Chain A
Amino acid sequence: MKSKTADRIATGVFVAIAIIIVSILVGLFSYILVNGFKYISWDFLTTPSSNIRAGGGIRDQLFNSFYILLLTMIIAVPLGVGGGIYMAEYAKPGKLTDTIRSCIEVLASLPSIVIGMFGLLVFVNVTGWGYTILGGALALTVFNLPVIVRVSEDSIRTVPRDLKEASLALGITHWHTIKTVLLPSAFPSILTGIILAAGRVFGEAAALLFTAGLSTPRLDYANWNPFSEQSPLNIFRPAETLAVHIWSVNTQGLIPDVEAVSNGSAAVLVISVLLFNLLARWIGSIITKKITATK
């Protein structure tokens, strides 16, 4: 009888743990959204931020976040997918492959602040660029690369062997098979992985503090010349992203409406990450349905 009671108590404890975790999530999300929604308005999203006065918005920070994300992805996706192809198709078991695998593992486990320091050393000081968008994007590439490599390798490995062998049997070369058979079949899961990684990049702040900086020059959105100082497209200007903005208004605290700005920004940030998440699921399921012809 005693062991049955113990079993019941244990089951209760496990259920309680599950309830605790679900309620943590629900609590966090409802707090962020309820508190944030009242500050999100068209005005908030389209006015530039202010360093001292109240009533600043997050226009530039929002733009910077997306711009850095885009640049990071342009650099990291080809590199990461290439690395994934190498690991899945070309790497032979041996010392070299083990070394590369350890390198990926090390890169993946580095704290983002350490990557930020590396960025500060190399992309800010050694190159002499100062705080730039490009430096931030390169640091985030280092941060993001292992994720994309792992996702691409796994997706390419899960493509059925028959497909690859049929293609090779037709006399098609290895590289051509990769390009025309393996990559298209692995594409849905690679895409899902990339979108999820994008969500992580979007919320990253520690790696950007010392690489993209804590300030944004005055931007002129009518200026599309990427070499002009005031152009938002200039990749050699400092740029504060949304996540960094939340941190800096809270720690430096010069503006009187810190609460409002950071509540609003946090909500925008979480909603964006949520959208990335939903988008990844949605696209993943649509493409899988179309490819495998199941409902």
Chain B
Amino acid sequence: MQICIYPIMTYFRGVWCIMEKIIPAKERLTKSSKNRMDGELRGKILVILCAVIMISATISITIFLGTKGLQSFIKNGVSLIEFLTSTHWNPTNQASPEYGALPFIFGSFAVTFLAALIAAPLGIGAAIFMTEIAPSWGRKILQPVVELLVGIPSVVYGFIGLTVLVPFVRAHVGGLGFSLLSGMIVLSVMILPTITSIATDAMGTLPKNLREGSYALGATRWQTIRKVLIPAALPGLLTAVVLGMARAFGEALAVQMVIGNVRNLPSSILDASATLTTIITLNMGHTTYGSVENNTLWSMGLILLVMSFAFILLIRYLSSRRKL
């Protein structure tokens, strides 16, 4: 082991040694307690510093994006109500620019819920398969499959969606192919591993006597799953779905490649649409930094930030109910 991990260990030691100089043995023995306490203090300061950096990163993200996102309402006088409720997005119109982001907000929510609608049953089903139906070999196969699915980068999902799914939808379902439907399918595959792995944990931590009690009453496996295990694991399963939705809500590039990016409210699932993330990715590069249109993009970023706080609060609420 020493040989195998030696180079990397030296790297770690190197990092520590910068903070803590190496002292010759004689000196170390004669003044040991003082030097040791020095190292103790230095080490403690070092790790506290790391913790402080983490807090300050979170706080500065909130402050920077918060102030920048509010600028369009405070400085440019865009009406918050118009921004959240109007369906007309036309910032380039010189005479009367319109900043209604509702189509994108609606698109984000629609695609997230639809994706969860597909991925939740599949993910929870896979979790039940791994924990109840075939705990030995099923887990051995599905666990690595789920881990590999997590590993596929989101652009690759988007690219496959663009080259396979979009033409397929165009040819066999209808519409242009670039649609809510394509976005929903791509996203559901992307959030499937998240939901599966957390749901598996939730099912796996259920106490064994629940199952045994139910079987002892003569219940079949399906009755046990439906009447005992799913209700008992419900907060955990919901947490899994919410985490999956949080991921879907923030996903940008994969959705952007298949959803079509139009500024109208979609009237059917086959219509092209847009989400907050796709509009940000598309327009952030084109608009001038500091212009009103650019500032409204930052406001959309703020919505994403607020939503991810909301998802965390929801998860907190769910896990506080998990008292089994």
Cβ proximity bits A1-36 to B, threshold 8 Å, 1 near / 0 not = 001101101110111011011101100110110000
Indicate whether B122 reaches chain A with its CB closer than 8 angstroms.
Answer: yes
Indicate whether A106 reaches chain B with its CB closer than 8 angstroms.
Answer: yes
Q: Is the CB of B39 within 8 A of A32?
A: no
Chain B 185-227 residues near chain A, CB threshold 8 A = 189, 192, 196, 220-223, 225-226
Report A154 CB to chain B, min CB distance, Å.
Answer: 13
Question: A122 vs B68: C-alpha distance in the bound complex, in angstroms?
Answer: 11
With A82-B50, A250-B257, A274-B151 known as contacts, the answer to whether A266 contacts B156 (CB < 8 A) is: yes
Chain A 235-269 residues near chain B, CB threshold 8 A = 243-244, 246-247, 250-251, 259, 262, 266, 269
Report A293 CB to chain B, min CB distance, Å.
Answer: 10
Report A165 CB to chain B, min CB distance, Å.
Answer: 18
Q: Is the CB of B128 within 8 A of A114?
A: no
Question: A142 vs B126: C-alpha distance in the bound complex, in angstroms?
Answer: 32
Indicate whether B113 reaches chain A with its CB closer than 8 angstroms.
Answer: no
Question: A286 vs B3: C-alpha distance in the bound complex, in angstroms?
Answer: 12
Q: Is the CB of B9 within 8 A of A79?
A: no
* Residues on A with beta carbons closer than 8 Å to the beta carbon of B37: 173
With A86-B50, A105-B312, A114-B305 known as contacts, the answer to whether A175 contacts B39 (CB < 8 A) is: yes
* Residues on B with beta carbons closer than 8 Å to the beta carbon of A262: 159
Question: A100 vs B152: C-alpha distance in the bound complex, in angstroms?
Answer: 30
Interface secondary structure of B, over-half rule: helix
With A22-B145, A246-B159, A266-B156 known as contacts, the answer to whether A122 contacts B253 (CB < 8 A) is: no
Of B89-97, B160-168, B265-273, which stretch is located at the interface?
B160-168
**Chain B: which residue is nearest A262 at the CB level?**
B159
Q: Is the CB of B58 within 8 A of A113?
A: no
With A173-B39, A175-B39, A175-B43 known as contacts, the answer to whether A90 contacts B48 (CB < 8 A) is: yes
Q: Is the CB of B54 within 8 A of A10?
A: no
Q: Is the CB of B4 within 8 A of A15?
A: no
Indicate whether B44 reaches chain A with its CB closer than 8 angstroms.
Answer: yes
With A85-B47, A291-B1 known as contacts, the answer to whether A243 contacts B57 (CB < 8 A) is: no
* Residues on A with beta carbons closer than 8 Å to the beta carbon of B222: 3, 6-7, 9-11
Q: Is the CB of A22 within 8 A of B122?
A: no
Q: Is the CB of B221 within 8 A of A11?
A: yes
Of A45-53, A176-184, A225-233, which stretch is located at the interface?
A176-184
* Residues on B with beta carbons closer than 8 Å to the beta carbon of A175: 39-40, 42-44
* Residues on B with beta carbons closer than 8 Å to the beta carbon of A145: 54, 57
Report A242 CB to chain B, min CB distance, Å.
Answer: 9
Cross-chain pairs A/B with CB under 8 angstroms, 15 sampled: A7-B220, A14-B128, A14-B129, A18-B126, A21-B146, A21-B196, A78-B15, A85-B50, A86-B51, A115-B61, A121-B64, A173-B36, A174-B43, A203-B151, A247-B253
Chain B residues proximal to chain A, CB less than 8 Å: 1, 4-5, 8-9, 12, 15-16, 36-37, 39-40, 42-44, 46-51, 53-55, 57-61, 64-65, 68, 121-122, 125-126, 128-130, 132-134, 138, 141-142, 145-149, 151-156, 158-160, 162-164, 189, 192, 196, 220-223, 225-226, 243, 246-247, 249-253, 256-257, 277, 280-281, 284-285, 289, 298, 301, 304-305, 308-309, 311-312
Chain A residues proximal to chain B, CB less than 8 Å: 3-4, 6-7, 9-11, 13-15, 17-18, 20-22, 24-25, 28-29, 31-32, 78-83, 85-87, 89-91, 99-100, 102-107, 109-115, 117-118, 120-122, 125, 142, 145-146, 149, 173-176, 178-179, 183-184, 187-188, 191, 196, 199-200, 202-206, 209-210, 214, 243-244, 246-247, 250-251, 259, 262, 266, 269-270, 273-274, 276-277, 286-287, 290-291
